[in-house]
Amino acid sequence: MRGKFLKINLEKEINQFIQGKNYYSYKFMGAHLAEENGVMGYRFTLWAPRCKSISVVGDFNNWDGTLNTMVKVHEGGIWSIFIEGLEPGEIYKYEITHKDGKKVLKADPYGFYSEKRPNTASILVDSCTYPWGDGRWIGKRRRSDILNGPVNIYELHLGSFIKESENGFLNYKEIGQAIINHVKLMGYTHIEIMPITEYPLDDSWGYQVTGYFSPTSRYGTIEDLKWFIDHCHRSNIGIILDWVPGHFCKDQHGLFMFDGAQQYEYDDFKMYNNPGWGTANFNLSKTEVRNFLISSAIYWIKEFHFDGIRIDAVSNMVYLDFGKGPGQWLPNEDGGNVNYGGKEFLRLLNEELHNLNEGIITIAEESTALAYVTSKEEQEGLGFDLKWNMGWMNDTLKYVELQEEDKKFNHNLMNFSMMYAYYEKFMLAISHDEVVYGKKSLFNKMPGDRWQKFAALRCYLTFMYCHPGKKTLFMGSEFGQFSEWYFKGGLDFHLMDMDEGHKNTLSFTKELNNLYKGEEALWKLDFDPKGFKWIDPDNNQQRVLSFIRYGDKMEDTLIIVCNFAPITYYDFKIGVPYNCCYKEVFNSDEKRFGGAGEIMAEVLFSVKDYIHGMEQSITIKVPPLGAVILKVNN
């Protein structure tokens, strides 16, 4: 049975596109099944303003560019043709003739599916309707306030979560079911998948894209991906897409010099050249490019039901000199380094995505101190929901890698983040970038012997989960994988069968996830200063940090004590906010987690004893390289 086919006013859609007001351009650009004059076929529409001519070529016409020549239907550079009799599954490209007569074959920028690499042609699809079963999830998502709820994201790379062979890939359904089982067992709220927009080189991990509307064929079909997302939702798991709208690769079949000149990229070499990544920067000031990118984001949300988008390399879009040296960039009209067009694009992108009223979330990977990233009201605000807290990540990882004696002189690395914690709505992220290219796995960042590494990992994760901000953790860290991430191999899940340390760490992370979701104080007031208070941020001699997380009610209150020294502290006195009882609800040093078992089973009663600026105190036991969470117990 045929699916939907093209039924639109093409002239109206094209005019809106040229004016920069068509954010659903995927509905008519590219190749669409259509019925015209009673005949079925495909309508091809393409934007290429500076070329001489264009033809559609493929196996169906023996790649002969003289047979199916497109007609220029708008002076803004829109070309179109209807080819009758074509069937889904046909491969095709555009043969583009430049002004100088040179002919180049290009994949469709709006292609919905692509050949598996190393082949590069686009593939005709029948836009059949997938039988979604996630209506309850979508309705709940639209009604929810995600920023006032728990967000605990498991970041993963589809090709290396599990691996059957060195060069093979599992299908979206096969790998998807394994991911769903693991994530559901572990208690994460969301997964974030590294880019699956079609890309030519495995080594780029998906961050150098050729198909902004095409899910990579490495893992199967469009329907297979929709099945995966649908079944994530049926299992109450959200799914976020990692998306790269700042730059694109220079492979010949892609967007680079598409019509023989700078079409998608900036005109000036110093503006479009991205020397650090060997890519070309999008011209984010051009209306047609904005149409293209915003339409791509909307496409993934509307057609694939993604719950949010994490935008990669925001700094590259905002700063003209990002990743460039002297003489490699051009200043703006005011002589500065801010890309005004890039900032305007990001504001427009966030506005349009939130206008969908789908309850989705946008996340910025922004690595500088740029202000107002998550602000919607300020004139400079970009309108994101969350910003990765790169400062927190860099500081805390630097601290935990220090040897024992050096930690006391760098204690500020662990407490400094609270000086700016409420400037933005932050997400704490330990991502793939921190466990690759010789940086070591999260486990092996921890100094000391094997026991100390596991203990320090548990303490660090507890500190992370209790610190204000939403959470993202890269795959493998949840069970203390020894080796750093390698995209050609799978995770070392077999370690759980060989080593109690990894099995215990997996159990620890599972319980930490569930504790996080169940305790409102750990997420309800993430972005409100009322939700946090230091008890003692400055105990550098003992390497201990203690603080309070508040909820809406007194009985939600949590006391957190994190000890980054391999020493047990007995009779450790801390100030507490209320004259009441306190009960230990979590201890990273429990024997079942692989710890020493320095726990407190008894209820603790506060006494009137002024310390740490509070009238009441309790005396506790603090485990070595361990974290303790106490809760008001009335």
Which residue, 274, 252, 117, is CA-closest to 198? 117
How many other C-beta atoms lie within 10 A of the C-beta of residue 38?
Answer: 5
Could you identify the residue written with the tokens 């599972």? 510
Which residue, 232, 238, 365, is CA-closest to 308? 238
Asked if residues 111 and 31 have their Cβ atoms less than 8 Å apart, the reply is yes
Give the list of residues 6+ apart from residue 317 with CB closer than 8 angstroms, or none.
Answer: 245, 246, 281, 284, 339, 342, 343, 345, 346
Rounded distance between C-alpha atoms, residue 533 and residue 5, angstroms:
58
Burial letters for 182-205: b for 16+ Cβ neighbours within 10 Å, e otherwise?
A: bbeebbbbbbbbbbbbbbbebebb
How many Å from the N-terminal Cα to the C-terminal Cα in the chain?
Answer: 64
Sign of CA dihedral 437, 439, 441, 444: positive
How many other C-beta atoms lie within 10 A of the C-beta of residue 131?
Answer: 9
Asked if residues 287 and 19 have their Cβ atoms less than 8 Å apart, the reply is yes
Q: List C-alpha distances in Å: 335 to 270, 321, 330, 394, 608.
A: 15, 12, 9, 31, 61
Asked if residues 522 and 552 have their Cβ atoms less than 8 Å apart, the reply is no
Beta bridge partners of 78: 47, 74
> Helix, strand or coil for residue 3?
coil
**Is 380 in the active site?**
no
How many other C-beta atoms lie within 10 A of the C-beta of residue 344?
Answer: 14
**Is 365 in the active site?**
yes
Environment class of residue 628 by beta-carbon count within 10 Å: exposed (0-12), middle (13-18) or buried (19+)? Answer: buried
Candidates 155, 358, 365, 478; catalytic one: 365
Pairing of strands 614-622, 569-576: antiparallel
Candidates 259, 288, 312, 358; catalytic one: 312
Q: Which residues are catalytic?
A: 312, 365
